[in-house]
Amino acid sequence: MSIATLVERLFPGSRRELITGGVPVSDLAGRFGTPLFAYDAGVADARWARLRAAVPAECAIAYSVKANPNPAILRRFIARGAGLEIASAGELQLALRAGCPRDAVLFAGPAKTDAAIEAALQERIGEIHLESVGEARRADAIARRLGVTAPVAIRVNPAEDAQGGAMRMGGRSAPFGVDEEALQDVIAVVLSRPSVDFRGIHLFSGTQILDYTVLLRQYRKALAIARSVAARYGVVVRTLDVGGGLGIPYFDGETELDVERLGKGLEELVGRCQQDPLLASARIMLEPGRYLIGEAGLYVTRVIDIKVSRGKKFVIVDGGMNHHLAASGNLGQVIKRNFPVALVERLDEAPKETVDVVGPLCTPLDVLARDVRLPSAKIGDLFAVFQSGAYARTASPLGFLSHASPAEVMVDDRTVTLIRRRGTHADLFHDLPDTGELPAVTTPRAS
Ligand SMILES: Cc1ncc(COP(=O)(O)O)c(C=O)c1O
């Protein structure tokens, strides 16, 4: 996606310099240092408002915490009516502390520990979405021990996946969900245990889908599975979770997802549910992450060094894949393609050279932009990666090479709030046995 288009759509008022939420990015870098994540609250709000308006009122939307778990972001979406989809005991704590109504929290994801299931049941969250027969049995045992009922939906790994997404999670062997062909096993467990309350079906088979017809195909599939479960087992389906996966444009040639047409398709599905006695109580639920927060985020770095090696020019910046694995192409991309990037204070300059922009790690994988055309960069310039609100900081190897973790700020119509401080060297020691004191190691004596 071209920088000019992105800037015009998301960061209006930027001319020579990039402005987010009414504040020049160089001011943010000056105040908070680099590397830095800056989230434009207005962009996030607009995404929420657009999706909420497009999707029928009968459908619930749960923000997927894994996309960006910063509490300020969670609170922002909760305040606008979002529930939260969580995937770990840690995300449960984040959801609760952010003030999400308990019944609007749903817990999906593999490897739910007994402790996590217990915490979810004790906190009386809305639903646990089961990923296996074993998990169903454990949820039952824990619910019985606690003397509560576990509200559960079953996540299904469909027999065919959603074509057209960047990362497929269904349609083949997968650790996610229960194979569509083997549903009877988990349903037998769920329906035979009084401590487990069957609420519905969850189907999520891919992320970063830009074609609304692909998503609708997946939603129809979810509806068909829910209907057949209701018919076969005589159960009432109350939740039909059709997953997340709504994409944003990153690369050349990609265009925005048409959420209005997606909404029209959902309207038809809501109508079909309402008219179908087997699905009349089913509430359709979406759980997008990337779509809601991805476009609001900028990752801002500073040029530390510039060098030419055997004819190739490298612009070396102070942060890279340690903070933004996805932009380096190492999070699910088969062939590295560049995220949209720019020199922050030189948007109006024509590109003059082709360079690799690389981060500070001692690995050739740490490339933020390969063979990218830029104005000629100088040491001290600010370099930004766009579309960096989702699966960026949270999905990166922050500890690699022990660089300080980046701060996060939220800019809301000229008001800037630090929503996560920059890491310090003290953080490198905080989880060691005794502030830096490692236990003594006894070396065996050579005989
Ligand atoms: C169960 C589940 N729900 C929702 C999401 C959010 O997906 P996206 O950010 O593509 O909307 C994910 C992402 O992996 C997921 O695993």
Where is the domain boundary, 240, 255, 286? 286
Ligand 1 within 6 A of CB of 389: no
The residues, ordered by sequence, that sit 6+ positions from 107 with a Cβ below 8 Å of its Cβ are: 85, 86, 87, 92, 116, 120, 125, 127, 128, 129
| Structural domains in the chain (count) | 2
Flag whether pLDDT at 437 surpasses 70: no
- Residue range of the domain that includes 279: 109-286
Clarify whether residues 157 and 220 are in a common domain.
yes
Clarify whether residues 114 and 240 are in a common domain.
yes
Ligand 1 within 6 A of CB of 246: yes
Give the residue with greater pLDDT, 180 vs 170.
180
CATH number at residue 255: 3.20.20.10
Ligand 1 within 6 A of CB of 290: yes
- Position 165 scores a pLDDT of 55
Of the candidates 334, 333, 336, 328, the one whose C-alpha atom is nearest the C-alpha of residue 397 is 328
HSE of 416, CA atoms in CB hemisphere, 13 A: 18
Question: Could you write out the DSSP letters of every residue in 253-307?
Answer: T-----HHHHHHHHHHHHHHHHH-TTTTTPEEEE--SHHHHGGGEEEEEEEEEEE
- 442 — pLDDT class (breaks 50, 70, 90): confident
State CA 253 to chain mean position distance. 23
Ligand 1 within 6 A of CB of 85: yes
Residue 101 resides in a domain:
no
Residue 392 resides in a domain:
yes
Clarify whether residues 280 and 320 are in a common domain.
no
Instruction: Please state which of the ranges 367-376, 409-418, 429-438 shows the lowest mean pLDDT.
Output: 429-438
CA dihedral 223, 225, 227, 232 (to 10 degrees): 180
- 438 — pLDDT class (breaks 50, 70, 90): low
Clarify whether residues 121 and 268 are in a common domain.
yes
Q: How far apart are CA 381 and CA 111, in angstroms?
A: 44
Clarify whether residues 150 and 272 are in a common domain.
yes
Clarify whether residues 165 and 279 are in a common domain.
yes
CATH number at residue 328: 2.40.37.10
Residue 44 resides in a domain:
no
- Position 433 scores a pLDDT of 87
Give the residue with greater pLDDT, 431 vs 294.
294
**Å from CA of 309 to ligand 1 middle:** 41
Classified as helix, coil or strand, 413 is coil
Clarify whether residues 245 and 312 are in a common domain.
no
Clarify whether residues 267 and 320 are in a common domain.
no
Q: pLDDT by residue (tens digit) across 191-226?
A: 999 999 999 999 997 899 999 999 999 999 999 999
State CA 207 to chain mean position distance. 9
| Burial of 18 (C-beta count, 10 Å sphere; 0-12/13-18/19+) | buried
Residue 440 resides in a domain:
no
Mean pLDDT, residues 298-302: 98
Provide the percentage of residues in the chain whose pLDDT is more than 70. 96
Q: How far apart are CA 195 and CA 147, in angstroms?
A: 8
**Å from CA of 140 to ligand 1 middle:** 25
- Position 332 scores a pLDDT of 86
Q: pLDDT by residue (tens digit) across 219-239?
A: 999 999 999 999 999 999 999
Residue with CA closest to ligand 1 atom 16: 109
Tally helices (H) and strands (E) across the chain. Answer: 11, 22
Ligand 1 within 6 A of CB of 170: no
Q: How far apart are CA 92 and CA 120, in angstroms?
A: 7
**Å from CA of 206 to ligand 1 middle:** 8
Residue with CA closest to ligand 1 atom 5: 244
Ligand 1 within 6 A of CB of 245: yes
Classified as helix, coil or strand, 355 is strand
Q: Where are the extended beta strands (E) located within 375-425?
A: 382-385, 407-412, 415-420
Where is the domain boundary, 237, 262, 286? 286
Clarify whether residues 331 and 189 are in a common domain.
no
Flag whether pLDDT at 260 surpasses 90: yes
